[in-house]
Chain A
Amino acid sequence: MTVRPPIVLEAQGLIRDYPGKGGLLRKASPVRALKGVDLVLRQGRTLSVVGESGCGKSTLARILTLIDPASGGTLLIDGKAVDIARFRPSAELRRKARIVFQNPYGSLNPRQKVGDALAEELLLNTGLNAAERRARVGDMLERVGLSAAHAGRYPHMFSGGQRQRIAIARALMVNPRILILDEPVSALDLSVQARVLNLLADLQRDFDLSYIFISHDLSVVRRISDEVMVMQAGEVVERGSRDAVFGDPKHPYTRQLLAATPSTDTGAIRARLARRAALRAARGA
């Protein structure tokens, strides 16, 4: 039996409440966006979080990257408990898990040159001098399939796919162990999506990165995940290996999601056309 890779990220019973809408006389009851979520991410693996709008997947992402505090539960990064509501996390801890958002144009400052945005990470987190920072930025841009010369350009001068590469490069500047990818390819064209997915696979292998991959797109999730968890209304309704979740879904909601995902399988197309022809024949008769 092979030794399982070490756990890099673990959550137990994560809860997140948002303040609810109250009235003048009525006390606001909080909205519980996460109702006790457990997860385990192992080094070099990809855990996908699947669900529809409002299921709490982005709330989870914000907690895992220490942007928002959890209202309850335990979060462990590299075995160390983190609670940002009580203690300010060390810079070292913050460097371990980085996030990449869906819309790279919204997450890059339009007035900041791309090279400066990347170098800023090093300025804040390392003692490197300007020349060293510039060299590291150039290396990283090339690593994600851009060129060092792109450092002097502004975000608007890039395509959507290139911008997502920049966002990935920025997240990787401080050598994190974990990337939280929140719908990273959802806004991209199919061909661009394929290239960014390939890049993510390469980077994972080369840097031994662990991914939390948040997505609503089951075709993409099926392609890149080791483990999958399905969320609905703040709860994990199903979890397991990719093959188990896709091959033998147990929860009705997982089945519903799978059934609703469009299939480009020619057998499915043939079946649909046959149903349509039968319906027409019945109508015409």
Chain B
Amino acid sequence: MSHLLEIRNLTVTFDTAKGPLTAVSGIDLHVDGGEVLAIVGESGSGKSVAMLAVMGLLPDTATVRADLVRFDGTDLMALSPRARRRIIGRDIAMIFQEPVASLNPAFTVGLQIGEVLKKHQGLGRAARRVRTLALLEAVGLPDPVAKLTAFPHQMSGGQCQRVMIAMAIACAPKLLIADEPTTALDVTIQKQILDLLIDLQEESGMGLIMITHDMGVVAETADRVVVQYQGVKREEADVLSLFETPQDSYTRALLSALPERGGDGPLDGVTFQ
């Protein structure tokens, strides 16, 4: 069976003033429908860059090379940017860390969600309103009718992230990529957003990629985990094996740096070859 998203030997290089910088180096990844894959790593691990490359969201200074980037049977590398944009946003959606910054401050929530429905599904005004209300309800926003005419600054960070999720699932995507979706949120709000993402994923059977630095988020959401360090995949395992019997020295060091796992002595920190 072929995977929903399959990436083989992906390398991303940025042109910088100091010469080329390799952010992602020869990574293989795959995710299936109905599966939650966590990509975990610290800053500079390239965990976001790989997915931005798939989405075609990297700046011009980036060079993307891969043996294969196949989504739902289509080779994304072979597509024109225009053809790729028809898939991106509809079949693959993405949400980001800063929900307030990701929304346009000048337009209402209703208009911004409606825009997605117009662009990808060609819905008329009345149909858009009905669908937008249903989406706002699906992501658990209180008083969805009032939210239609609300501006992002009138809502909390958690509510803005719910709006972002509503936009992302507007076209019933086959794959949702969530890049640090709860990092800017309080812990009780984080729990609600993670529960919402997993519920939506369960109901729709979409694939979900969680990009995170937080081992707690991994433990709470993932089926399978990829650990990245400095652009290289260090380990890939199902979530229980990763926490029970980590194979890679970096994974082990990362786990031992968790405050709740350190025992009474000093935390190990990351020391490895």
Contact = CB atoms under 8 A, between A and B. Distances in A.
A192 B254 CA distance: 10
A279 B266 contact: no
B43 A264 contact: no
Given A193-B257, A223-B259, A198 B269 contact: yes
B262 A223 contact: yes
A57 B199 CA distance: 33
A201 to B, nearest CB: 7
B44 to A, nearest CB: 9
Chain B contact residues: helix, strand, loop or mixed: helix
A168 B269 CA distance: 19
A115 to B, nearest CB: 26
B253 A191 contact: yes
A53 to B, nearest CB: 6
Contacts of B253: 191
Contacts of B143: none
B244 interface: yes
Interface stretch (A72-80, A84-92, A146-154, A267-275): A267-275
Contacts of B240: 266, 269-270, 273
A93 interface: no
Interface stretch (B12-20, B109-117, B211-219): B211-219
B254 A190 contact: yes
A216 B188 CA distance: 10
B106 to A, nearest CB: 22
Contacts of B67: none
B219 A263 contact: yes
Contacts of B248: none
A264 B255 CA distance: 9
B269 A191 contact: yes
A188 B252 CA distance: 19
Given A194-B267, A197-B259, A264-B260, A269 B214 contact: no
A198 B266 contact: yes
Contacts of B214: 262
A52 interface: yes
B261 interface: yes
A194 B239 contact: no
A129 interface: no
Interface string B163-199: 0000000000000000000000011111100100000
B270 interface: yes
Contacts of B269: 191, 194-195, 198
A48 B213 CA distance: 24
B42 A189 contact: yes
Given A269-B219, A269-B240, A264 B261 contact: yes
Interface residues of B, number: 37
Given A198-B266, A279-B202, A262 B220 contact: yes
A52 B257 contact: no
B268 interface: yes
Given A53-B186, A216-B186, A219-B259, A190 B244 contact: no
A222 interface: yes
A276 interface: yes
Contacts of B186: 52-53, 216
Interface string A208-225: 000000001111101110
A60 B253 CA distance: 35
A269 B188 contact: no
A223 B260 contact: yes
A237 interface: no
Contacts of B191: 259-260, 262
Nearest to B267: A194
Q: Which 3 A-B pairs have the closest CB atoms?
A: A262-B216, A191-B270, A194-B267
13 contacts: A190-B42, A191-B269, A195-B267, A197-B259, A201-B266, A263-B260, A264-B215, A264-B255, A264-B260, A265-B219, A266-B240, A266-B244, A276-B202
Given A264-B255, A272-B220, 16 more contacts: A53-B186, A190-B254, A190-B258, A194-B262, A195-B267, A216-B187, A219-B259, A220-B259, A257-B188, A260-B190, A262-B194, A262-B214, A264-B216, A264-B258, A264-B260, A273-B240
